Amino acid sequence: MPRYYLNVTHEHTQIDRVGEDLPDKHAAWKEATVMAGQTLQGIDGKLVPGREWRMEVKDEFQNILFVLHINAEKPE
């Protein structure tokens, strides 16, 4: 089963060095969206305008398959 890695950047970058065995890239996408929701809940008000939250989904060869972006902006 292939291994996928979910790296998160917010105030700093957290590199997933362990990864997770998942059946395919569709399962990796589902895992990333679930984890993104849980992680964003844990930010607890720390996402401020001008700062991005980002998750990269990489395969076992470190190819980027998906990128999720949450951008906080302050309208002018």
In angstroms, the CA 20 to CA 40 distance is 20
- High-pLDDT (> 70) share of the chain, %: 100
**DSSP 8-state symbol, 18:** S
What's the pLDDT tens digit per position in 41-67? 887 777 778 888 899 999 999 999 999
Q: What b-and-e string marks burial along 9-26, b requiring 16 or more CB atoms within 10 Å of the CB?
A: ebeeeeebeeeeebeeee
Q: What's this model's pTM, rounded to 2 decimal places? A: 0.85
- Looking at residue 60, its pLDDT comes to 95
Q: What share of the chain is helix, strand, coil (3-state, %, to 5)?
A: 25, 35, 40
